[in-house]
Chain A
């Protein structure tokens, strides 16, 4: 007779779509009184590269920490390749690779020694591991530095090894938590190329970032997260299409106070203010801009700069939250 937990697992498997590699349902997490995740839901198909985009403190790392079993959610369910994260933690750990935000390597070991160690704890056979480590070193352009200690590496080189260390056991799923923070353009491009290669090999990837360019370049679908909630989700085209805003007129005023702000709101009520910059959301900037300039002149509002921003992840985020991604 099957026990209760087995029945629960079987039912759970039936409930969620077999196509989904990762399925997150109503995930909640609080630290003390602070609610970091407020019931997020998303699902990722096999081979998909999913971008979790949001500003610092939005809940990206907490989400990754829960998916990679570092933290336990207060409530909600996570299924990874039909396995329940709560009950099949170790099996999930074996098929996932995690690239943490910090460079989690042993500084006094060489790159090769680090890779051999990190692959070793996943029980990769020694010969296979050695071959894989050398392949990755070649892929990341560090083969000639493999016997140098990590402490002698540049930031970008360390980031590359940091990613390589998560690939040694050939994971089906890869969590990349802001893997390009603080690195040089050369390393960034190299990392992008590697990620694109992994994507091409149909590895399912969750990529967290607060750089919209990265999300736009790499991701099949993007989940925009803010204050512990996913506020928009879809492909870049879907996000653009579904956004009521097609363009943003961004005006930098020389001085902004309450009175001036009120005057601007009398022109359009849906404006958003960030310091001295006021954003006007529009579907047609060409028509709207002359009217806006004329209004500002009549109202005596002096401005220094005007920009018309085309719809991108940044403008969508700005429209949704009134904040910039890098706030």
Chain B
């Protein structure tokens, strides 16, 4: 029995492929996922969420308010023109914009409702939730932190009661002044680490911020559904196309590749044939995935059909090129199996197939751009969520990048195939 154990262990440790799958691949994936989802690499610094701010009021008070927001640990303010900011949301570059409308200063001083509006992409609801959590207390406290705030609070309370009696108004103002002193003291204590009163005026001005969805769910596609269908389909497609690419190595092993070379068919055409068949199968696979999502989960395709077709074709082109590329530099199927799993899982993790990108640290989000998954999923979001038209430059740029990835990988595959073809047989 011991001899069998020793023999099996020897076989295992002598098998490089098994070793790779047992140790190297999981270690690499753990490292990757730790960076992507585990917050590793951020140190003690929290990951700041970017908030675009568009200041239409452009007054001392509005600038002071922006400074207050910028001092928040969890938010990084980016000042932008409203149009640019809205475009950035539409294209998925940013999640939201806080608009300080004209009249902010006057409203603040008069104790009126503050003309603040947060326009956002509903697709990024978790990110928006985090922004809201940070913004509302700060906006609520704005009157307390701005100059002349004592007077503002009194006026606000008078407005809230709706009284016209001057004596009553004065009485409210006096009580407000006392209350202000208590609250101001609590703010100081709170900032010194006393957590008894964290948010004394919540509800005072907290509801002043109007929430507006820039990309609304009016098309009825649930964001989670789009994420699930696009993310999973692209990841599984990559696994399929690697299988198709590996078919080349099977042909070598079975001798059919040699037989093809005996025939008048040009070696380049053998690879071209593989590429075309991989493309057709990829397109079919993606169509069936989206068809299933339509039938089973009610994914609204309707007017999005042209965009969906374009995205499916571009994704299939890029993914099948990846499959052929992987196969073209390997000499044995075993060489590529472990490596392809690693590459696909890595691309899927950083590219947003497994989880939405905003969960990841900023550097991982930038890294996402190297994956096919990212461009494809973003293009599907453009179609099914952002409702971009097929002529929209943002959508077209993503399609172009997918085609470019496909073109480059195919070119490398052709070169490697030609170089290796005689060695293969």
In whole angstroms, what is the CA distance A90 to B263 when docked?
A: 8
Give the contacting residue for A69; candidates B256, B259, B262; CB below 8 A.
B262
In whole angstroms, what is the CA distance A121 to B270 when docked?
A: 10
| Cβ of A234 under 8 Å from chain B | no
In whole angstroms, what is the CA distance A96 to B261 when docked?
A: 12
| Cβ of A107 under 8 Å from chain B | yes
Chain A contacts of B261 at CB under 8 A? Answer: 69-70
Task: Look across to chain B and name the residue whose beta carbon is closest to the beta carbon of A105.
Answer: B256
Give the contacting residue for A70; candidates B254, B256, B258; CB below 8 A.
B258
| Cβ of B280 under 8 Å from chain A | no
| Cβ of B166 under 8 Å from chain A | no
In whole angstroms, what is the CA distance A96 to B265 when docked?
A: 13
| Cβ of B203 under 8 Å from chain A | no
Write the nearest CB–CB distance from B391 to chain A, whole angstroms. 41
In whole angstroms, what is the CA distance A102 to B256 when docked?
A: 9
| Cβ of B255 under 8 Å from chain A | yes
Contact of A93 with B263 at beta-carbon distance under 8 Å, contacts A70-B425, A71-B422 already known: yes
Which bucket holds chain A's interface residue count? 20 to 34
Chain A contacts of B256 at CB under 8 A? Answer: 104-106
In whole angstroms, what is the CA distance A142 to B425 when docked?
A: 30
Asked if B264 and A93 make an inter-chain contact with CB atoms under 8 angstroms apart, the answer reads yes
| Cβ of B260 under 8 Å from chain A | yes
Asked if A122 and B263 make an inter-chain contact with CB atoms under 8 angstroms apart, the answer reads yes
Task: Look across to chain A and name the residue whose beta carbon is closest to the beta carbon of B262.
Answer: A98
Task: Look across to chain B and name the residue whose beta carbon is closest to the beta carbon of A89.
Answer: B264
Interface of A is mostly: loop
Task: Look across to chain B and name the residue whose beta carbon is closest to the beta carbon of A103.
Answer: B255
Asked if A104 and B254 make an inter-chain contact with CB atoms under 8 angstroms apart, the answer reads yes
Asked if B264 and A90 make an inter-chain contact with CB atoms under 8 angstroms apart, the answer reads yes
Task: Look across to chain B and name the residue whose beta carbon is closest to the beta carbon of A97.
Answer: B262
Write the nearest CB–CB distance from B248 to chain A, whole angstroms. 13
Asked if A93 and B262 make an inter-chain contact with CB atoms under 8 angstroms apart, the answer reads yes
Asked if B259 and A107 make an inter-chain contact with CB atoms under 8 angstroms apart, the answer reads no
**Centre residue among B254, B261, B262, B264 by max chain A CB count within 10 A:** B262
Chain A 98-112, CB-CB to B under 8 Å as 1, else 0, gives: 101011111100000
Asked if A100 and B264 make an inter-chain contact with CB atoms under 8 angstroms apart, the answer reads no
Contact of A118 with B264 at beta-carbon distance under 8 Å, contacts A71-B422, A104-B254, A107-B254 already known: no
Write the nearest CB–CB distance from B96 to chain A, whole angstroms. 53
Write the nearest CB–CB distance from A133 to chain B, whole angstroms. 16
Asked if A121 and B255 make an inter-chain contact with CB atoms under 8 angstroms apart, the answer reads no
**Centre residue among B255, B256, B265, B422 by max chain A CB count within 10 A:** B256
Give the contacting residue for A104; candidates B259, B264, B265; CB below 8 A.
B259
Chain A contacts of B259 at CB under 8 A? Answer: 98, 100, 104, 118, 165
Q: Which chain B residues (240-257) contact chain A, with CB distance < 8 Å?
A: 254-256
In whole angstroms, what is the CA distance A49 to B15 when docked?
A: 47
Chain B 22-41, CB-CB to A under 8 Å as 1, else 0, gives: 00000000000000000000
Contact of A100 with B258 at beta-carbon distance under 8 Å, contacts A70-B425, A71-B422 already known: yes
Give the contacting residue for A121; candidates B254, B258, B260; CB below 8 A.
B260
In whole angstroms, what is the CA distance A110 to B281 when docked?
A: 21
In whole angstroms, what is the CA distance A71 to B422 when docked?
A: 7
Asked if B264 and A94 make an inter-chain contact with CB atoms under 8 angstroms apart, the answer reads yes
Task: Look across to chain B and name the residue whose beta carbon is closest to the beta carbon of A96.
Answer: B262
Write the nearest CB–CB distance from A123 to chain B, whole angstroms. 8
In whole angstroms, what is the CA distance A257 to B263 when docked?
A: 53
Write the nearest CB–CB distance from B258 to chain A, whole angstroms. 6
In whole angstroms, what is the CA distance A123 to B262 when docked?
A: 14
Asked if A104 and B422 make an inter-chain contact with CB atoms under 8 angstroms apart, the answer reads no
| Cβ of A68 under 8 Å from chain B | yes
Asked if B258 and A104 make an inter-chain contact with CB atoms under 8 angstroms apart, the answer reads yes
In whole angstroms, what is the CA distance A326 to B149 when docked?
A: 105
Chain A contacts of B254 at CB under 8 A? Answer: 102-107
Chain B contacts of A70 at CB under 8 A? Answer: 258, 261-262, 425
Contact of A100 with B422 at beta-carbon distance under 8 Å, contacts A105-B256, A106-B256, A107-B254 already known: no
In whole angstroms, what is the CA distance A104 to B261 when docked?
A: 12
In whole angstroms, what is the CA distance A90 to B259 when docked?
A: 14
Write the nearest CB–CB distance from A111 to chain B, whole angstroms. 15
Write the nearest CB–CB distance from B271 to chain A, whole angstroms. 14
Chain A 47-79, CB-CB to B under 8 Å as 1, else 0, gives: 000000000000000000000111110000000
Give the contacting residue for A102; candidates B255, B260, B263, B422; CB below 8 A.
B255
Write the nearest CB–CB distance from A34 to chain B, whole angstroms. 16
Chain B contacts of A94 at CB under 8 A? Answer: 264
Chain A contacts of B255 at CB under 8 A? Answer: 100, 102-104
Write the nearest CB–CB distance from A89 to chain B, whole angstroms. 9
In whole angstroms, what is the CA distance A107 to B255 when docked?
A: 11
Chain B 18-62, CB-CB to A under 8 Å as 1, else 0, gives: 000000000000000000000000000000000000000000000
In whole angstroms, what is the CA distance A70 to B260 when docked?
A: 10
Chain A contacts of B258 at CB under 8 A? Answer: 70, 100, 102, 104
| 6 extra A-B contacts, CB within 8 A, seeds A105-B254, A105-B256 | A69-B261, A70-B425, A96-B262, A100-B259, A106-B256, A122-B263
A-B contact pairs, 12 of them (CB 8 A): A93-B263, A94-B264, A98-B259, A100-B258, A100-B262, A102-B254, A102-B255, A104-B254, A104-B255, A106-B256, A107-B254, A122-B263
Residues of B within 8 A of A (CB): 254-256, 258-265, 422, 425
- Smallest CB-CB A-B distances: 10 pairs: A104-B255, A102-B255, A104-B259, A98-B262, A93-B264, A121-B263, A104-B256, A90-B264, A68-B262, A121-B265
